[in-house]
Each structure stands twice: as C-alpha cells, then as structure tokens.
Structure 1
Amino acid sequence: MRASQVLAASVTAAAAIAGGAWLWRHQGEIATRRPINEWTFTHMHRVMPIEEVRRPACSRALPATPQALAHITYTFDGREYSLEQLHRRTHTTGFLVLHRGILLHESYPGAFASPSARFQLFSLTKSVTSMLLGIALERGELASTEQHVADLLPQLAGTAYEGVTVAQLLDMRSGVGGVEDWTIPDAPIRRFETAVTTGGSVLDVIRSTPRVTPAGTAFNYSTIDTHVLGWVLEAATGRSIAAYAQQQLWRPMGAESDAFYFLTRGHPRTALGGGSLNATLRDVARVGAIMAAGGRVGDVQLVPEAWVARSRGSDLPQLQPGALVGGGYAHYGYSNQWWTLGGERRAFTGLGVHGQYLWVDPDSETVIVKTSAWNTADDEAKDRETCAALAAVVEAVEAVEGR
C-alpha cells in the first residue's frame, strides 16, 4: 500500500473515531431534536438501560364513553383554534381526556404513538416521585419531611445539600445549583445529563453542585433536587424507585401496561427520580385520576389526602403563580413537585420538557394527558397555548358531563 493510501486510510479512521466521539458526547441533543425525538420519546428502552415497573395480573377497568372533541375551541393570543390545530402547532404525539374515571377521548397523532407506546415523561416523573414519597411517609418508611437529606444520604454530607430538608427539596427550595438552564454548556444540568448518558459519575456532579441561596429562602427549579429525592425514597424504603412504584402505585392502581424507568449508564445504575419514567397514556391518566379523586383508587386511600391537598398549592409567597423567580413561567406556581395554577379551582399539572402534561382538575375530576415532541426543551409560547387549550377542554367537559 502506498504511503498516500495509508495516510488516507488513517485520516478516514481518525475522522470516523472523532465523529463517533462527537455523536457520543452529543447524543442527548441529537435524540431530542425533531423529527428524531418522535422515535426517541417512545423507544427509550432501545436507547438506555431500564428497570421495568410491572403491571398487576388483573388491571383496573378504564370504562370508555368515546367523544369527539372537534367542537372544542380555545383562544390564544386573540385567535381561536381547534384541538386539531393545537396538535399540529404543538407537535402532539398523544392526547387523552378522562372524566371521573371514564375515558372520553384518546388520540395518537405521533408517528410512533399508540395505546401501547410507553412515552418518555421527562420531568412529569417528578410528580410521580412526590406521590411515592407521600405513600412512604404514610407507611412510616419515611419518618418526616423535616429530616435532613444528608442524614438519609451520608454520601451528600459536606456538600451543598448539607442542612437541606426533604420538605425543601419537595418545593424546590434547596438553594443548590442556580437556575436550570440547558443552553449553558457547563451548567449543572448539562453536566448531570452528560453523566447520565455517557456513564460518568452522577454522584460527583451532585457533590460538586454549589449552593446559591440559603436553604428554604427561594424557589429554584432543579432536576438534580428531585434526583436526590429519588435517592431519599430508595434509602427510606430499601427498594429501587421502580420496585417501589410497582409495589405501591402501579399494582394498587390497576395499571394495564408495564412501565419502566431508564437508568444511568454508569454504575451503580439508578433511575432518575426527576425524569426517567416511561408509561402509556392510559396509565398516566390512571395516575392523574388518583390525584383528581383526592388520593383514592375506588375505596382505597392510596395517596394521603393531605398530600394531594399540598400538591394543589402552597401558602408560601415565593411559590405562588407569578412569583417564581428561579425557573418556570409566570402563569405557574409550584408545590410538592407539581406546577400549580392557583385561582378558585386550584388545578395543577405535572410537566415535562418537550411538551409533556398531566393536567389535573380535582373540582370536576377531569384529567388530561398530552405528550409532545417539541424541538426545544422549553417553549413559553407553546406552553401558554397548551394551557389555554387544556383549560378549554375542562370547561367543555364540565358543560357536557355536568359537575
């Protein structure tokens, strides 16, 4: 082989290695871009290691009274739109409406979406983690929300989480990490994501995350906080998040499909309490129905009623709608790992980046699940439009079904 051929082959090999290294470093960014994300968000089990959350032998029936929603319109920025337009404008992949436990509507506009597809829920996972903590507290596995995190997790002693309570984590008031900004290359959340997807040490990222404000003094949205909450749950119960969710939520609520949490690539592998649950729309709706019914599944009080009330809104001034300064949009408040909407209804919603919603209106016992594949993690305009549309759906359901 000529020297020039050897050189060319070497350059090609080096380019391939460099290209592979670039793809490895940027896999999260690539996987969440349209249109690839429509596949990724329904196939996380093909992308990451997982731990299953098994359904029970017999699922709880979800009776259906199908209704077309074509007549429902909503107003956004002075213009009227249909729900079909909402789905196109906000890249809806799945949409389901439940009223008093009855399935009124489900549709799957996404290219890879279906009733059996398990959707990546991102930070909507946080709200489920909160429910699991409420169950653990009621069962006496978690002694108190006033316990200090470092007492439960000695590996965080001497870090910024020293002195932070479980209650402060639940309301995103740890004071650790600063504003969660995915656009800053060296932000804690970007270093966290890199560690999760490439096999780095998540613990090292968390231990090195700095304190920004005194604990308990200000709201600061943080996925890392909820990841720590997931570790708290595991330490208190002696089970993985997935195993505890299976035993204390998925089976008691009568899920019809297995769910799963994706795990960190690095060892010890762990689920993300702040963002790795994947489930079908119908089972996400079952989760919402528990909260809409005050924590009950039939005659069983599965989640403490007081825990549900806490999730509908906080008395703290810094957590009120319009008062959040450390992340979130002006129309939201925050409490107990849920985004709150205030007003007389005190509706609330779980949210995930790229447009995932679990909207709960307890007054009418209406639950709406919307999964999406936005091109960016956050989009304030798409979020405002979605909120307007989902509020209009609740109003229309009430008008037809009666309160």
Structure 2
Amino acid sequence: MSKLTITITITIASIGICLALGGCGNTMLPKSETNMLFWTQDQRDARFRQIEKFAPGNVVAAGGAVRELPKGTAFPETLTVGGKPLTMDAYMAAQRHAGLIILQDGKVRFERYALGFGPQERWTSFSVAKSLASTLVGAAVKDGYLKSIDDPITRYIPELGGSGYDGVTIRQVLTMTSGVKWNEDYADPKSDVALFNDVKAEPGMDVTVSYMRKLPREAAPGSKWVYKTGETNLIGVLVSKATGKTLSAYLSEKIWKPYGMAADAIWVTNASGNEISGCCISARLSDYARFGQFILEGGIAAGKPVLPANWLASATTKQADIGVPGRGYGYQWWTYDDGSVAAQGIFGQGIFIDPKRKLVIASNGDWPKATMPDSAGPQRQAFYKAVQAAVDSGATR
C-alpha cells in the first residue's frame, strides 16, 4: 500500500455507529425518540440490553454444545492504571460498564456485572460488529464464495459500476482506503453518515448501495484512510450477495453454532431488511468474549478452520495509518504495534485481544457520551496495559 494521507474525523460516529435508530427505517419507536444519540442515559441503560424491542433484527442462532469458559486463577482486585491504583469496581464505575470479563488461556479470570445487567442478558455491540462482519468476508473467501479480496468490489456488487467504486478492491473497502469521498461528521445533518440510511432505495437495491454509488472519488484507491461506516455496510451486502445468505444465517453457520456460543444473538436490520454490518449485534458478554477467543485461537470452530490460512495475520495487522502512534487499522480491526487488536464500539463496547498473553478482555457499557476521548477512552487504553502488566507479573488476587 502506498504511503497514506490520513483523514480522521473525531465525531460521535467516527469510532463506530452506522445507525441513529431513526435513520435506518422500520423503527419501533415514536419519531421523537428514534435517534439513540439523544436518548437519556436512563433510556440507554434500559434499551441497550434489549435493542430488538426498539429496532427490527434477525436472529443469529446458537445451537449444539456450549463452549465452556472454565474458571481460572482470580485476577487482582486492584491494578495500577495510568500510574495510580484503581480497584476493578472503581474502574467499572468510571467506565459505566454493564459487564467486564477477562479471559486468559481460555479461562475466566474476572467476570462482573453492573447497571442491573446480568450474564443471561444481551447488550448491543455498536461497531464491535464491524470486526465480526470482516471475519465473515474471510469465511466467504475460505468457502470459495469470494475468489480474492483483490477482486474489484463491483464484481460482486455490480450496482456500484460506473461510480466512485470503479477499480476499488474488496481489500480497500475492508481497510477504508477506497478513496471515495465521505463525511462522517454526525453533528452535520447533511453529512453522509447522517443521510445514507435514510434515503429511499432504488428499486431492488439495498439502501446503502443506493446511496454509496452516488458518492464522488476524492483520492486514488489505497492512498487515503477515512473512517466510513457506509463502507462497512457495503461489506455486509458483499457477503450476502456472494453467499446468497443473510449475514445472521452465515454468522450462525460459520461461528455462532460450531464454536459453541451460549445464546442466540440479534443483528439489527436496515430499511431494506438487510443486517447493518457496521453495527448492532446484540449478544451476551460471554459470547463477545468467546468471539475474541475464537480469533485468538486462529479462527477454528468445531476443529475446522473457518478462515484462510493467512487471513488473521493480515486482518489484525496495521494496513492503514490512522495518525495515532502505536495504532493502526486492519480489516475492520483497530491494531496495536505490540500485536494486540481491538474491536471498538461507541459508549464503551469493546473486545481486546492480545495473542502474546493469550488474553481477551470484553466489555459492555454506557458512557455518558458516545465517545470519551479525554477520559473514558484513554482510561480504557491504560486499563488494557495494566491488565497486560499484571499478566506479565503473574499477579493473582
């Protein structure tokens, strides 16, 4: 990839939501309450755990034997976070975490819930779903539905032909380096992220495709990274078209059932009835942790590889420079130069995976704001480092 020109828009939407629930059609809420960014904190606390009551979705079916997560050695109750001692309860309160789980070597070293949330409930993931969606691209390559991610995306979504996506590869959409112009500023009611799910789709066309094919090109493909939630939604259309299956059915078939997730998940759908692949899988915290463990173990489910042999090595390695030292962007994964990787969603959702330490940290939450770049966000990064340090020291309770 050529040296990248970096464009970063730090907005409510830029870390991870494809959806203001009222902008995706088929909403189950009154018009005055459809934009989840304007829900009160109490509304978010209640609705994040039952998003399927407020927006349509498809079931990601679990089934068969559940992948057990045995108890491991208890984790310390106090860590040094950002140079200061911080108890786990104090950290969860500061993050407004509804749930936090730490796995090491596949064993639960810490699991706790708050905000009236419990282990049998689901919580919506927001842009954590992006990393699951990109993994389904790898599965589709492994299964032969997609020949190569270096194929032009127009080969599989011909409706994009004659648009800014001519000559853009699947790889470039995965890394958000298509060169197609996009405005992710959610504060601007005329921005792309505010408009793209709320347009009337052309007949027989997904609403995302209908919008994205009208966007102009601003840079050569592969030369400029811009966070584009709309492109993650194109990934979902790509997988569905290639496989002939809904994303929910394909996720169930390839991962949810064979890996042994504990419960069904829900994937919110858009105005066209297709899953919003950039957002809003609702699942148990333990199943988010299981997905992290699935990635940590190399994408093996029921003893069989789900992904091509080299997929994860590329997907979880920096493919685009995002302008943050030590960080980057892979195939819809946020990367760290130490080899760790994260799926991130607004309001505090996340899955952090550290292969070197065989470590998975999954969190659900409801931050006071969608993004907290000056407080909760940096504290979470410091917490990840603190957990890594505790693992290195062999610390136990």
TM band (smaller chain)? 0.7 to 0.9
Structure 2 partner of 1:208: 214
How far has the Cα of 1:383 moved from its partner? 1.2
Q: Do 2:259 and 2:302's aligned partners in 1 also have CA atoms closer than 8 Å?
A: no
Q: 2: CA distance between counterparts of 1:297 and 1:163?
A: 34
Q: 1:313 to 1:33 in 2, by over 3 A?
A: farther
Structure 2 partner of 1:350: 343
Q: 1: CA distance between counterparts of 2:163 and 2:136?
A: 26
Higher relative contact order (CA 8 A, sep 6+): 2
* Aligned counterpart for 1:400 among listed residues 391, 394, 397: 394
* Aligned counterpart for 1:160 among listed residues 161, 164, 169: 164
- Over the matched positions of the two proteins, sequence identity in percent amounts to 26
Q: Which protein has the larger Cα radius of gyration, Structure 1 or Structure 2?
A: 1
1:183-221: CA deviation from partner (whole Å, max 9, x where unpaired): 11111111135459xxx9444332333333222111111
How far has the Cα of 1:298 moved from its partner? 7.0
Q: 1:116 to 1:210 in 2, by over 3 A?
A: farther
Q: 1: CA distance between counterparts of 2:308 and 2:395?
A: 28
Does 1:97 pair with 2:92?
no
Q: Which has the higher helix share?
A: 1
Q: Do 1:291 and 1:362's aligned partners in 2 also have CA atoms closer than 8 Å?
A: no
SS of 1:360's equivalent in the other structure is: strand
Q: 1:401 to 1:235 in 2, by over 3 A?
A: farther
How far has the Cα of 1:295 moved from its partner? 2.4
> After the TM superposition, which residues 358-377 of structure 1 pair with which residues of structure 2 at under 5 Å, given as runs?
358-377=351-370
Q: 1:260 to 1:67 in 2, by over 3 A?
A: same
Q: 2: CA distance between counterparts of 1:102 and 1:28?
A: 38
Structure 2, unpaired ranges of 5+? 1-28, 201-205
Structure 2 partner of 1:81: 86
1:265-306: CA deviation from partner (whole Å, max 9, x where unpaired): x2x311011112111111111110121122234743333342
Does 1:108 pair with 2:116?
no
Q: 1: CA distance between counterparts of 2:360 and 2:243?
A: 29
Q: 2: CA distance between counterparts of 1:351 and 1:84?
A: 22
Q: 1: CA distance between counterparts of 2:295 and 2:394?
A: 22
Q: Do 2:61 and 2:263's aligned partners in 1 also have CA atoms closer than 8 Å?
A: yes
Structure 2 partner of 1:187: 191
User: What letter is aligned with 1:389?
Assistant: F
Structure 2 partner of 1:336: 331
Structure 2 partner of 1:131: 135
Q: 2: CA distance between counterparts of 1:80 and 1:178?
A: 42
How far has the Cα of 1:133 moved from its partner? 1.1
Structure 2 partner of 1:387: 381
Structure 1 partner of 2:54: 47
Q: 1:297 to 1:32 in 2, by over 3 A?
A: farther
SS of 1:251's equivalent in the other structure is: helix
1:347-380: CA deviation from partner (whole Å, max 9, x where unpaired): 0100011111100000011000011112322221
Structure 1, unpaired ranges of 5+? 1-21
Structure 2 partner of 1:310: 314
Structure 1 partner of 2:6: none
User: What letter is aligned with 1:157?
Assistant: G
User: What letter is aligned with 1:337?
Assistant: Q
Aligned length: 362
SS of 1:349's equivalent in the other structure is: strand
How far has the Cα of 1:259 moved from its partner? 0.7
Q: Do 2:182 and 2:215's aligned partners in 1 also have CA atoms closer than 8 Å?
A: no
**Following superposition, which runs of at least 4 residues in structure 1 exceed 6 angstroms of deviation?**
none
How far has the Cα of 1:37 moved from its partner? 1.1
Superposed CA RMSD:
2.3
User: What letter is aligned with 2:346?
Assistant: V
Q: Do 2:152 and 2:166's aligned partners in 1 also have CA atoms closer than 8 Å?
A: yes
Q: 2: CA distance between counterparts of 1:59 and 1:79?
A: 39
Q: 1:179 to 1:83 in 2, by over 3 A?
A: farther
User: What letter is aligned with 2:393?
Assistant: A
Q: 1: CA distance between counterparts of 2:380 and 2:183?
A: 24
* Aligned counterpart for 2:268 among listed residues 262, 267, 286: 262
